[in-house]
Structure 1
Amino acid sequence: MPAQHWMNDGRLHFGVGVEDTFVPQERVGHRKLDEYELTQHYEHWREDLALAAESGAGFLRWGIPWYLVEPRPGEFDWRWIDDVAENTRTLGLRVVVDLMHYGTPLWLENQFLNASYPERVARYARAVAKRYAGVWNDFTPLNEPIINAIYCGETATWPPYLSGQDGFVKLTLALARGMVRTQQEIAAVNPAARFVHVDAGFRWEGDGGAIPLDVLEERRFLALDLITGRVDATHPLGSYLASHGVTEADLAWFAENAVTPDVVGINYYPAFTTVRYLDDGAAAPIEAGVAGLRDLLLLYWERYNLPLAVTETSRGGSVESRLEWLTESLAEVRALRAEGMPVLGYTWFPFFSLVDWLYRHDSKSPDEWFIHMGLVDLERGADRTLARRKTDAFGAFQRESGR
């Protein structure tokens, strides 16, 4: 049996994450979205990793741009990834490798709906795990599967541009199959590998939306329920899934191939994780503070009884608001740990400014879409370079982490 995850040593581990959304497919009105390109991480990655280490973070959530690493099927270009891996080893930064953050390679026709997607993504993951075994042993097979299914399968925002509940279910099933095969293939080549599942936190108030509240509240767990073999005909979403084409054979496959992550990560943002439905059916994000964080962590702990981590949290706006959230959220995490909940990690995400995803659907410059919610702010200079400016929140994070 593999040893327990290194995070599970009684301490609270501090991490930061680099925003790494990759949606490279373009069409009229839909620009390429590559956060590394837009934030100049490709040019400044050494500085960014050095800052992460300086912040006191013991681990880093960092993603591989699959579409660049495998530009043609089965052909890999590891040159940049080799340099990054060696640098993180030198810095002593553990990396939780984010293998899939929304986008597939350009050559994969119909993206996640391609019949070969689960095997394609698993082969890519296997290649990563084999090459970097001993340097990178921690993996997130796919970031925020339900967000992925919503954007790609329910709202037709990202490719393959499906819509409605039928699209959502089709995407979720494909993503979950890919997650299972990814974990299986990584474990086959690196027995020391550990897995951190990352779910987007979802909370709702009111019941005026197009989708019944009871479906929404179960749907947020669907990907993790599938990969752990928990979904059968008696599952609360059993009839919902069957009505959208999920067969008994599909569910049997997940039961027979069930995988379990070592750590369940929850992403939570106090100002927009919680959505309130109004009487007219309109929805708007609301502030939920630490109460929402506690609620989500309790829900996942009670449902899965697995070690937890806060894999993303931060607050946009002023540095003062970030400082306030850092203090409040860490106090809540520490309180939950004192009550016996195994919350092993706390991740400030993003580490530096990001470009709003709405940039993809607009023609304005990236600067007009910057959101400053990190420990480091990006500032455009006269030479067009994005300078990295440490904020007071950076120093506060250092102190909290014991740096």
Structure 2
Amino acid sequence: MANIELWGGVECTVNRVGEEYFDQLAQSGHANRLSDLDLFAELGIKKIRYPVLWESVAPEHPEQQDWTWATERLNRLRELNIDPIVGLLHHGSGPRYTHLLDEDFPQKLAQYARGVAQQFPWVNHYTPINEPLTTARFSALYGFWYPHTQDDASFATALLNQIKGTKLAMQAIREINPQAKLVQTDDLGYSHSTPALQYQADFENHRRWLSWDLLCGKVDQQHPLWGYLRRVGVSEETLLELVQDPCPPDIIGVNYYVTSERYLDERIIDYPWHTHGSNAWHRYADVEAVRVQAATPLGVQNILEQVCARYDLPVVITEAHLCCTREEQMRWLADVWDSASFLRKQGKNVLAVTAWSLLGAYDWNSLLTRNAGHYEMGAFDLKGGQPARTAVSDFLKGLPLEAERHPVLKVDGWWKRVCRSIYTNMPEEPENWSQAGNEQMLPHDLAIEPLLITGATGTLGRAFARLCDTRGIPYVLLTRQDLDIADAASVEKALQKYRPWALVNTAGFVRVDAAEEEAEACYRENTHGPAVLAKACQAHGVGFVTFSSDLVFDGEKMEPYLEEDQPQPLNVYGRSKTQAEEQVLAAMPQALVIRTSAFFGPWDEHNFVYHALRAIAHQEPFKAAEDSFITPTYVPDLVNMALDLLIDGESGIWHLANTGAYSWAQLAELAANLAGLDPAPWLQPVPMASFKQPAARPVYSALETGKRGILPSVEDALRRYLHACEFNFRPVQTDLHSTEGEIRFAAQA
């Protein structure tokens, strides 16, 4: 039996909320980039789910059609030998002249489908409507999308309209191309529950099949939902017509997400308010089963087995996507691919896995009800404005070839680890992938190459260790006693001992003013050490990332510095970092060198933001420079992005800092305002010169990136910092005239 194939897809929803349309192709920019198709072809995909959407081709009138965009794209796919699976309606309700409750909706869709087939008679695969059941639920039962109804009768009408529309559309298409095949997709999960809500879970577990059951003619008087559909207004004639003259899919398309399986629990006090819902008998929480310790999700393999047992038809995973960190995205794809491959080898009729979405998606965190620009990366990363290859795209390319997988994939995804559970009152045994010094903490039953991290006592080193724990990345956190970065023999010994896949260097001399008097020590730690590490990593084929500073610049530019700007340091510390950049990249061109600035984070108190908020909360004077501008950097954002870029295999100089340029005084004021504190009169903006620092600083050293390493805004980062930090910044009563406890905080690297 042939191996399963790799298919692809682009998120292309054009959904309507009120009178506003949300267009994913416009948000991603794919609408204007024909060249994306060549990138997709490089992955080796055989088929692609691709839009020729009704709302886009004929938005105002069914007879006013513009095929220009679709013709250019489908012809290019044909040249690339990629077979398109054409979608006509993707989570939408159609153009303005129809909607899901329009009694003429099926006929109007069929008319449009005929036009598509006439334009592209060579297209052999169609999905007239993506996820009819899901769309009916979100539009007509929950009211999130147009037409925003919230009742069972509207839900049933919307679902049956889509099913009848699909049937009529395929009839119209097959009059032009008798070989055309129906690839019918829907989200397929499973509902788990407490005993008290088993009846509701049973109903939802029957309902999840409805799209395919209706098309296959299975909904007769013996079907579990016959009575429900009749009670909510679906005529017997409508149902029996589908039984007598069905339109079975040629391929069942299963869209399965980590959130597709649900857990229902009447003990709503244990769950956030936004998860609460009700039926006629119970109020209950509806949450992701994977997050409930008491639940045991079936997983994609069992879900696929259920599909194969229910329908004697070919099955494809038509969407496999996870919004998460880079390694977790790959772990999810690997899990889905391996499950499908296993079933294929067992003789199940599983054909392919679809990488969805190749370009990522926007605003699904709000179920497409807000146009906030929230981006979930796909196989390619759009943060820099153009699709960029990542570890995910490289991984996909290697799947059909059974290429060697990244070491981080030897660890299970979070959905299979203890950390998956957030709804539990039972104690858990914490996972620990870490190793401190010589105390080995890696799993002994797995041959897992760790990530080496230097700088065990510093803010950045500890942050890397913390987030590697969270992300399930095995690591070794080393002190200077474990590894002297400037000693070649010590470095060689560590690499031989731990055999890492990569090394992150967070060690160094960080006291900017002290460097003026201790230049030799500064250069040893900041220049010679990273160069030694780079040479050793190059020799061993180990990935390497090290950190530089905004203090490599002199501030004369007076606007944010980009990666290509020429360093002109003003002090010893800046010169040590500049020379390190040069020597590291000379020794190892594949090294990743990250310039950053002005850390603040929730896991220690050694940062400007903490001290500013503490002083203002305690109504103590706090001086901050008003004429020195930097780009503050939230440590969790910095570390997560650095890990993603390291896994992606990126190299060269990158600027990673949160978006926005602030003086130190402005940063303190913004933080205080967001914390609900009045910074006046405690915040005292003063000239930088008043601090009389031995080391000269640039008056402007804000960073900006010309690459895709774009971090969220400083304001967004501060909000998350305030939410996450352990210190409570509520004000305390003090003598308003007291000057005791005055804090002077000068800018450091």
Instruction: Judge same fold: TM > 0.5, yes or no.
Output: yes
Match of 2:289 among 286, 302, 311: 286
1:200 aligns with 2:204: no
Matches within 5 A, 1:235-246: 235-246=223-234
CA drift of 1:93 comes to 0.9
Match of 2:455 in 1: none
Question: 2:391: which partner in 1?
Answer: 392
Stretches of structure 1 that go unaligned for 5 or more consecutive residues are 1-8, 381-385
Report matched runs for 1:159-238 at 5 Å.
Answer: 159-207=146-194, 212-238=200-226
Partner of 1:157: 144
After superposition, residues 4-403 of structure 1 pair within 5 angstroms as 10-24=2-16, 26-27=18-19, 31-44=20-33, 46-71=34-59, 72-109=61-98, 111-134=99-122, 136-207=123-194, 212-269=200-257, 271-280=258-267, 281-287=284-290, 291-357=298-364, 358=366, 360-362=368-370, 364=372, 366=373, 369-372=374-377, 374-380=378-384, 386-402=385-401
The whole-number CA distance in structure 1 between the counterparts of 2:138 and 2:298 is 27
In the alignment, the residues of structure 2 paired with residue 129 and residue 210 of structure 1 have an alpha-carbon distance, to the nearest angstrom, of 45
Q: What's the CA shift for 1:25?
A: 5.5
Deviates more, 1:292-301 or 1:17-26: 17-26
Q: What residue identity is the alignment partner of 1:87?
A: R
**Contact in 1 for aligned 2:216/2:248 (Cα 8 Å):** yes
Paired residues of 2:54 and 2:94 also in contact (CA < 8 A):
yes
Asked if 2 retains the 8 angstrom alpha-carbon contact of 1:196 and 1:265, the reply is yes
Q: 1:86 to 1:48 in 2, by over 3 A?
A: same
**How many Å apart are 1:101 and its aligned residue?**
0.6
What is the alpha-carbon distance in structure 2 between the residues aligned to residue 198 and residue 169 of structure 1?
Answer: 18
Secondary structure (helix, strand or coil) at the match of 2:352 reads strand
Change (3 A) 1:81 1:197: same
Higher RCO structure (Cα 8 Å, ≥6 apart)? 1
Given the superposition, is the C-alpha separation of residues 126 and 211 from structure 1 closer, same or farther in structure 2, using an over 3 Å criterion? farther
Q: Partner of 2:482 in structure 1?
A: none
**Shift of residue 62 of structure 1?**
1.0
User: Secondary structure of 2:73's match?
Assistant: helix
In structure 2, do the counterparts of structure 1 residues 205 and 97 end up closer, same or farther at CA, with 3 Å as the change threshold? same
Q: What does the per-residue CA deviation read over 1:60-97, in whole Å, with 9 as the maximum and x for residues that have no partner?
A: 11112211201312221111111111111111111111
Aligned to 1:141, the other structure's residue is in SS state strand
CA distance in 2, matches of 1:232, 1:177: 16
Instruction: Indicate how the Cα distance of structure 1 residues 331 and 64 shifts in structure 2: closer, same or farther if over 3 A, else same.
Output: same
Is contact 1:146–1:172 with CA below 8 Å preserved after alignment? Answer: yes
Q: What amino acid is aligned across from residue 125 of structure 2 in structure 1?
A: D
In the alignment, the residues of structure 1 paired with residue 94 and residue 183 of structure 2 have an alpha-carbon distance, to the nearest angstrom, of 23
CA displacement, residues 101-132 of structure 1 (integer Å, 9 cap, x when unaligned):
122443324x0111211011011111111211
Instruction: Specify the SS of the correspondent of 2:327.
Output: helix
Highest CA radius of gyration, 1 or 2? 2
Give the partner amino acid of 1:160: P
Classify 1:176/1:42 alpha carbon distance in 2 versus 1 (closer, same or farther; 3 Å): same
Residue 260 of structure 1: how far off its partner (Å) = 1.5
Q: Distance in 1 between matches of 2:154 and 2:96?
A: 22
Q: Deviations over 1:344-384 (max 9, x none)?
A: 011010112210232753364x1xx1112x1111114xxxx
SS of the equivalent of 2:254 reads: strand
Report SS of the residue matched to 1:272.
coil
Unmatched runs of 5 consecutive residues or more in structure 2: 268-283, 404-749
Secondary structure of the corresponding residue to residue 387 of structure 1? coil
Contact map agreement 1:183 1:195 (CA 8 A) in 2: yes
Q: Percent identity?
A: 27
Task: Report the alpha carbon displacement of residue 317 of structure 1 after superposing the two structures with TM.
Answer: 1.1
Asked if structure 1 preserves the Cα contact closer than 8 Å seen for 2:58 and 2:95, the reply is: no
Corresponding position of 1:6 = none
Q: Distance in 2 between matches of 1:359 and 1:310?
A: 21
Question: Which deviations, in whole Å up to 9, do the C-alpha atoms of 1:245-288 show, x marking residues without a partner?
Answer: 1121111221233112111110111x211111123211211339
CA 1:363–1:25: 2 relative to 1, 3 Å: closer
Once residues 193 and 368 of structure 2 are traced to their aligned partners in structure 1, the CA distance between those partners, rounded to angstroms, is 31
